[in-house]
Structure 1
Amino acid sequence: MRRLAAISAAMMLSACTPLMVQQAGAPPMGFQGPRLENDVFVSFDGARLGLTRWDAEGEPRAVVVALHGMNDYANAFHLAAPYWAKNGVTTYAFDQRGFGRSPNRGIWGGDELMVEDLRTITAVVHNQHPGVPLIVAGESMGGAVAIEAFASDRPPAGDRLILMSPAVWGWSNQPLPYKTMLWLAARFTAGKVYEPPRWLTNRVQPTDNHEELRAMGRDPLMVWGARSDTLFGLVAMMERAWQAAGAVKVPVLYIYGANDEIIPKEPAFEAAARLKPTDRSAYYAKGWHLMTRDHQGPVVWEDLLSFIRDPQAPLPSGAPTIPGSPTQPNAAVEAEGSRKVQAGL
């Protein structure tokens, strides 16, 4: 009993130990305000975050602000964005705090700071492209950030939102052993970096595009592994996104792949079920987690381009809606979509 009491006391004390989360900095002397430079997005507090842009051929008919996933960076959109550029869409992708070229790599940026960065860049991009539709596209963790932002009382200056397998695997859906171990690790070994074991990386794949996986593995800007307090922060973010999916204040297109091994079907379907009836969704039989980088990526690029141009336009693939979602069907090409699904598209 004494040993149990000592362990309980230690756990209660450790619960008071703050997890490491980045804080907004003080703007430097002579700060000129948020802006876009050549390969840098200067945010509201003067933080210089990595930026990649793909300019439309000719005057842009739409602009996309793109948010990458966990341990990734702006290069996540290096396949889709050039296709969109050829079709009149300019894409701005930035490295969120703690990732890629941005400062404090490996330290969790925190929901509040990451959401504020999104609000800031959409305001800057909106000012640079007045009158041009602005679409936010979030992949995985980026989707969770975007959900929180657009469900808040201060949504970003975006006209619509694309969610690509958003990270919605929060506390409500995590197995009890997982969340118990993570809770303990985040408090007793907060700074320890955990890398996925080789047996797991061989079994769980984010995409069927192995050439892309090899390129990611060689890329020094990718982050491999994560601190336990970063993982704790991510799961908390995913929980909030899972709960808030139906509160987004702009039209949504939510896409998910049947072969996704990163975000399980149950939380993904539950989040999609919360969408507004006027929202859209698409379910790809050959889709994995990194859907714009899968072998069937061009199919997804074209569907997303259709939504970027017109939120009510039929999706060229005819992909069915996500099971259980209340979203409107892609009626104009429903029959063709059923044929393609049967064929294993």
Structure 2
Amino acid sequence: MTAPPTRSVPALRRLLGIAVLAVGIATAIPACAPRLQPPGPLAATPMPPRLAPDLIVADDGAELPLRRWLPADDAPRAALVALHGFNDYSKAFEGLGRRLAAAGIAVYAWDQRGFGATAHRGVWAGDDRLIADLRAGLALAGASHPGLPLYVLGESMGGAVILAAWAKAALPVAGAVLVGPAVWGRETMPFWQTGPLWLAAHLVPWLPLSASGLDITPSDNIEMLRALGRDPLVIKQSRVDAVWGVVGLMDRALAAVPAFDGRSLVLWGRNDEIIPPVAARIMVSRLPDTGKRPWRLALYENGYHMLLRDLGGNRVIDDISAWIIRPDHPLPSGAERADPVAALR
């Protein structure tokens, strides 16, 4: 989903409203089904996933472009797998990767199916396929660093993939970081968005939607946003059935929150204009809280949706680094909230 060059990001919050425009067209066109991209070339004869220098090769043979940032001394203290957001790709973690690697944390990130430089770019892969790729990537990263604690981080849609995966079975990690997780499920959406979106996805699934002209500020880092607008691997227009797909994933993510019982760090920006405050409050209110909470929440008063790339992004990254290395210590930014639900009001 795309906005003007200064706002070129997955603008989930407002873009769904554009689906209303498809209804008039849809009534005159024969019905279609939302499209899912086909599996990889080895789907009929799957093989164990493998790690190549710049790729993860999935069990079905699909190639997922990989970036990694490793400590200069080749002696990491921990490893982290990072999942990007909707319409973004692995380059989103360039700043995070470099800064964490300098702190002794190895970072792995790949282009999720349908995004970046993958095949079938722009076509939704399906929740279960994204989850399977996450589990495979975690296994490969863990095998590359035996004996080290392994963490997972998800930004926006990446956080939704983590939550949905956890509902099926806890991920084999020492902890998870959710950065502005995409939990804007249908229960928090008005009918004028959910109804037209269903119609558009089932009648004109190919319809391209753009966030151009929407008054959304995803970050205060304007130069970074302009660079995203020039980046050919950042998707600028979304098929309506891909939007339908990510909304379904957000449904699953929000429903999975009560089962998210692992040690975690949840990060929000006070100025997030992508995921509505009501969705953030509902998510936090449903996180497990039986005595000693396994999760901690930090709220950055000057932060936006793209916390890791905001002008104050290094402050957020340093909190993540500190939490991984010394998980029981206070966050250096002081952004942690003792009463998370009240803080999000």
Q: Into which bin does the TM-score normalised by the smaller protein fall?
A: 0.7 to 0.9
Give how far 1:30 is off.
Answer: 9.2
Please tell me the residue identity of whatever aligns with 1:315. L
Which of 207, 216, 229 aligns to 1:217? It is 229
The secondary structure found in structure 1 opposite 2:245 is: helix
The secondary structure found in structure 2 opposite 1:76 is: helix
Please tell me the residue identity of whatever aligns with 2:325. R
Cα distance in 2 for partners of 1:325, 1:145 equals 23
Please tell me the residue identity of whatever aligns with 1:162. V
- TM-score scaled by length of structure 2: 0.85
1:164 is matched with which residue?
179
Deviations 1:277-317 (A, max 9, x none): 22111111011001010011111011011112233221111
The answer on 1:178 being equivalent to 2:193 is yes
Give how far 1:180 is off.
Answer: 1.3
1:260 is matched with which residue?
272
The secondary structure found in structure 1 opposite 2:87 is: coil
The answer on 1:33 being equivalent to 2:48 is yes
CA contact (8 A) 1:269 1:322 kept: no
Residue segments in structure 1 that go unaligned for 5+ positions in a row: 1-6, 328-345
Cα distance in 2 for partners of 1:158, 1:326 equals 29
Using the aligned pairs only, state the percent identity: 40
Higher Rg: 1
Cα distance in 2 for partners of 1:65, 1:136 equals 5
The answer on 1:119 being equivalent to 2:131 is no
Cα distance in 1 for partners of 2:130, 2:154 equals 12
Cα distance in 2 for partners of 1:127, 1:50 equals 19
2:157 is matched with which residue?
141
1:19 is matched with which residue?
34
Give the 3 Å change call, closer, same or farther, for CA 316–104 of structure 1 in structure 2: same
Cα distance in 2 for partners of 1:113, 1:156 equals 15
The answer on 1:194 being equivalent to 2:242 is no
Deviations 1:78-110 (A, max 9, x none): 111101111101100000000001111000011
CA contact (8 A) 2:47 2:60 kept: no
Matches within 5 A, 1:305-344: 305-321=321-337, 324-325=340-341
RMSD (Å), alpha carbons: 2.2
CA contact (8 A) 2:57 2:64 kept: yes
CA contact (8 A) 1:274 1:325 kept: no
Bigger relative contact order (CA 8 A; separation at least 6): 2
- TM-score scaled by length of structure 1: 0.85
Give how far 1:64 is off.
Answer: 0.7
2:66 is matched with which residue?
51
Cα distance in 2 for partners of 1:249, 1:104 equals 34
CA contact (8 A) 1:67 1:139 kept: yes
Cα distance in 2 for partners of 1:307, 1:238 equals 26
Stretches of 4+ aligned residues off by more than 4 angstroms: 28-32
Cα distance in 1 for partners of 2:33, 2:306 equals 33
The secondary structure found in structure 1 opposite 2:118 is: coil
The answer on 1:232 being equivalent to 2:247 is no
1:343 is matched with which residue?
none
Residue segments in structure 2 that go unaligned for 5+ positions in a row: 1-23
The aligned length equals: 312
Please tell me the residue identity of whatever aligns with 1:171. R
CA contact (8 A) 2:157 2:182 kept: yes
The secondary structure found in structure 2 opposite 1:208 is: coil
Please tell me the residue identity of whatever aligns with 1:63. A
Give how far 1:28 is off.
Answer: 7.6
The secondary structure found in structure 2 opposite 1:182 is: helix
Please tell me the residue identity of whatever aligns with 1:139. E
